[in-house]
Amino acid sequence: MTYHLTIRQVGPICLFNLTWGRGRRLTAELPYLPQLETLYHQWQKAYLSFYRQELRGRVGAAGQVTSPAVDRHSRLVEAEARLLSEFHRWLRDGKLLDIRQVLGQAPQGEAPAILLSCNPLFLARLPWETWELKAGGGHCPMARVANAIREEVPPTPTSRRGKPRVLLVLGDNTGLDFKGDRQAFDALRSFVQIEDVGWEPGKDAPCPQTGDLWGDRRPPGLGHSLFCRTQ
């Protein structure tokens, strides 16, 4: 069984939303615990201090005065214990009881897959994998997923190279003289690509050949009509 757990902070409240199965859902609201940020940053500082020191090369020198040793490992262990203690206390709140029960009641021998999404990003940095959900303090595997809103991005129109296109639609020219109109457009042919579409009695309505520009559309033309589009 796959569970989707979304945790979102809204002001002083954290909203928990659990979905699974066919439309099943549980929600809960829990007061946010600001000291979690303080404890996390204290742990992060101790962690970086310990590993930077442990990985740094040491060069001995004659007459060097040795400073008192700093037990960075003990500081790291203590910072981690304080963070986990406060984090677990927060998650043991009665408001999350129903969510804990659902996540902890997986069939025997089957570990639920929990997909976790947090907003803001700081919440995702907390040690959710240590959440004791099963009887006896067992943990359930969790996988963090991106919490960015996914939007369908419209395809970028392909820019067309070459001259702008002009579609000149001349409808039923019975009794009309379009000679002057044609001459006016002929003067533009050095700048634009012109397609001249007319209609004759007894024939189907004209369809321009500039398919990549106009597609299957048939612009209507009654009498003397002009449709102009450029790219």
- Please provide residue 45's backbone torsions phi and psi, each rounded to the nearest 5 degrees: -65, -45
pLDDT of residue 150: 45
More confidently predicted of 53 and 113: 113
Rounded CA gap, 182 and 177, in Å?
A: 10
pLDDT at position 102 over 60: yes
- Mean per-residue pLDDT, 214-222: 43
Average pLDDT score, the chain: 75
**Minimum mean pLDDT range among 1-10, 22-31, 160-169, 221-230:** 221-230
Q: In the structure, what pLDDT confidence band is assigned to residue 79 with cuts at 50, 70 and 90?
A: very high
**Minimum mean pLDDT range among 64-73, 93-102, 124-133:** 64-73
pLDDT at position 183 over 80: no
The pTM of this model reads: 0.56
pLDDT of residue 201: 63
pLDDT of residue 139: 66
